[in-house]
Structure 1
């Protein structure tokens, strides 16, 4: 399966070659090398605003170093609100602040042989993230990778402002997740509806 994905990374590569020193939603500190990517172009800005600015902050405080990648991967598991109960999680836990349940989910999915999973975004409801297990390295965007760790990667921006329209769509810490709330009522949820571009 082929994915086009996006992420912010302030270094000369968006890829982790070693485990992170901090816990994340789908990894434990110093234990697992996991790559986090957004499947919507506004996803990285939403993540950065949610984690580093907050609802009362100034979005212009964030400067984005954006990358895009084309990822070909066969063993992918999708876990959405309909599926997570099979792994012992509620829909709220799948996008929640407690990382222990989602770390256990990642263990189960990886233990089942998956190299990646697609999950709902906690920051931008109605979109999804791609979680890649294991080391990846940067590869020129138009060149065919030689081995499985290489990912075709392109650098999009350096020190860029987030799109002005994204701040109004971010799910801030402590706020309900609109897609989860809709799913609880109807058994489904709407995909993200891109807002019109806003010019400053």
Structure 2
């Protein structure tokens, strides 16, 4: 699964909270940035963020002079941050829940920034949804499990371990689709090879 670190933009700038909005605008225009991360005042302080929308909605719309408004007056702080190890799907859910357009990626220190554009342009999820990927992974895992079991024995630990992988994938798919599993692939296999249940830790498998 793609992580935030895989699609984030590392070209990110910071600005002091005491800087003027005019300075922020100049910095944004120089590099084509849509947002700036506001520096922490001390190590335990939270990061902030100032965006183009903040400038337009809170300064320009009210006819204020950007040279006289300070960044700390219009920034968002503390801002929601993203862990670089967070899966892209979960980043998208975070953005949806809090109506975010972008957020800094932080793990101890600022590593980059991630935006809706990054998610759309760099994520494979639009081309191949997670459920489709899972379905393919399940079919591959089932094929592998049957091969392992035929090469060893339906009672073998290797066979049981291979079906454990299938079970985990099917459980994840059920979670993604919010559906209940009526019959697992392993239970179907047990109908063909009842002895397979002997290799599993759980006595209840295939008993129904």
* Bigger relative contact order (CA 8 A; separation at least 6): 1
TM-score (norm 1): 0.25
Which protein is richer in strand relative to its size? 1
- Structure exhibiting the larger radius of gyration computed from Cα positions: 2
TM-score (norm 2): 0.24
